[in-house]
Amino acid sequence: MLVGVPKEIKNHEYRVGLTPPSVRELTSRGIEVVVQQGAGEQIGLSDDQYTAAGATLAGSARDVFGRADMIVKVKEPQPQECAMLREGQILYTYLHLAPDPEQTAALVKSGAVCIAYETITGPGGGLPLLAPMSEVAGRMAIQAGAAHLEKSRGGMGLLLGGVPGVAAGHVVIIGAGVVGTNALQMAVGTGARVTVLDKNVDRLRQLDLVYGNRISTLYSNAHAIEEAVLDADLAIGGVLVPGAAAPKLVTRDMISRMKKGAVVVDVAIDQGGCFETSHPTTHADPTFVVDGVIHYCVANMPGAVARTSTFALNNATIGHAVALATKGWRRALLEDVHLRNGLNVCQGKVTYQAVARDLGYDYVPAESLLG
Ligand SMILES: NC(=O)C1=CN([C@@H]2O[C@H](COP(=O)(O)OP(=O)(O)OC[C@H]3O[C@@H](n4cnc5c(N)ncnc54)[C@H](O)[C@@H]3O)[C@@H](O)[C@H]2O)C=CC1
Ligand SMILES: CC(=O)C(=O)O
Ligand SMILES: [Mg+2]
């Protein structure tokens, strides 16, 4: 088995699929690893560190894709990467297929075995390979939002925490999962007034126990969302229905009635976004304005703090990478239902129900392809 790590090519994406310590986890088990030259250099991971960990170097992405049996990446493959995938090759990375019909069609056409980090489940519940990046993005959502509330960035000119004698800003967080909880932690730290909404009342109960009357919790429905966002200075979208396109919870009409110069940070944009007015942006040009409201919709927020993010991601991905590389995909998926839940596309079939439903493909259960 040869594991290949190409350099990421998405805009301002400096994360890398495997760190040198992760490479060592593989090479010490007899797995060969090839890394594209310079893949980690932007975050201080040199080619020398990779070769010291037992990897060989390749001069181009084409070389990595052409030779490797399994590709380990961070972001969804871009069109030129999809074109390099082949029948039976394993692709292990974030995919976010439900809002992305072009990528889905390209992966189906490739015949590759495509395992999405974001739908792999954990024995304790949750999505353990999404969680570390959601921690990063949730924390970043407050700093990105606070920065764009400044006048020079187009915002209304508001300091989230206020000062003595002047009221604090109001942060509204929709979705109280990993993104929401991490945003909440940072928002409370700034001194802002915070409202959190979720459909899961148990989740709101847990937050209430931790933060008491320092925050307001609201059951998420159209009425509560409307009231909260109309009063918000900063609104964060962190909802998720695993694997599916995000529900559009904040309508264009609500946006048009928000305060002028307010900011929305749609973290859920990688699943299509939960604000009707959102579309994906990049770190190079992160915002746009609709009806006087600044929209920050960067689909790879953790890429901005790529060193922290790469190590946090590798902590979560390396276990399954070792299983796939040492057992092969069929046995690894057969033996582990949680890893199997990550299989989204396999040899031309869509094997994740929500993706098949949202994009109009026949759903083929993973089990039926493993026997
Ligand atoms: N833009 C970026 O760079 C990044 C985006 N993300 C995305 O952020 C999103 C959230 O991820 P996590 O927090 O890890 O998910 P999570 O599963 O931990 O939390 C999602 C929460 O949304 C809630 N929810 C579902 N429907 C709702 C509704 N109608 N109203 C209110 N709440 C609702 C769920 O009950 C759950 O508590 C995902 O789409 C994820 O892919 C994550 C990391 C980076
Ligand atoms: C989860 C995701 O989309 C990211 O880390 O970029
Ligand atoms: Mg995409």
Query: Which residues line the pocket of ligand 2, CB cutoff 6 A?
Result: 75, 94, 130, 133, 270, 300, 302
179, 278, 279, best to mutate for ligand 1 pocket (most atoms within 8 Å of CB): 179
22-40 residue pLDDT tens: 999 999 999 999 999 999 9
- What number does the ligand 2 atom closest to the CA of 76 have? 3
| Res 371 pLDDT > 90 | no
The DSSP element (H or E) to which 174 belongs, if any, is strand 170-174
Strand partners, 115: 92, 343
Ligand 1 atom with the smallest distance to the CA of 267 is: 1
Residue closest by Cα to atom 3 of ligand 2: 300
Average pLDDT of the chain, as a whole number? 97
**Catalytic residue positions?**
96, 270
* Ligand 1 atom having least distance to the Cα of 239: 22
Ligand nearest to the CA of 137: 1
Name the closest-CA residue to atom 5, ligand 2.
133
For residue 203, is pLDDT > 90?
yes
Sheet holding 287-290, edge to edge: 215-219, 193-198, 170-174, 234-237, 263-266, 293-296, 287-290
Nearest CA to ligand 2 atom 4: 300
Give the closest ligand to the alpha carbon of residue 266. 1
pLDDT band at 226 (very low <50, low <70, confident <90, very high): very high
- Pocket test of ligand 1: the residue of 178, 207, 239, 276 to mutate, having most ligand atoms within 8 Å of its CB, is 239
pLDDT of residue 158 exceeding 90: yes
ipTM for the whole predicted complex goes beyond 0.95: yes
The neighbourhood of ligand 3, an ion, using CB within 5 A, equals: 76, 100
Could you tell me which of 114, 233, 256 has the C-alpha nearest to residue 172?
A: 233
pLDDT at 199 over 90: yes
Q: With H, G, I as helix, E, B as strand and everything else as coil, classify residue 144.
A: helix
CA distance 149 to 296: 11
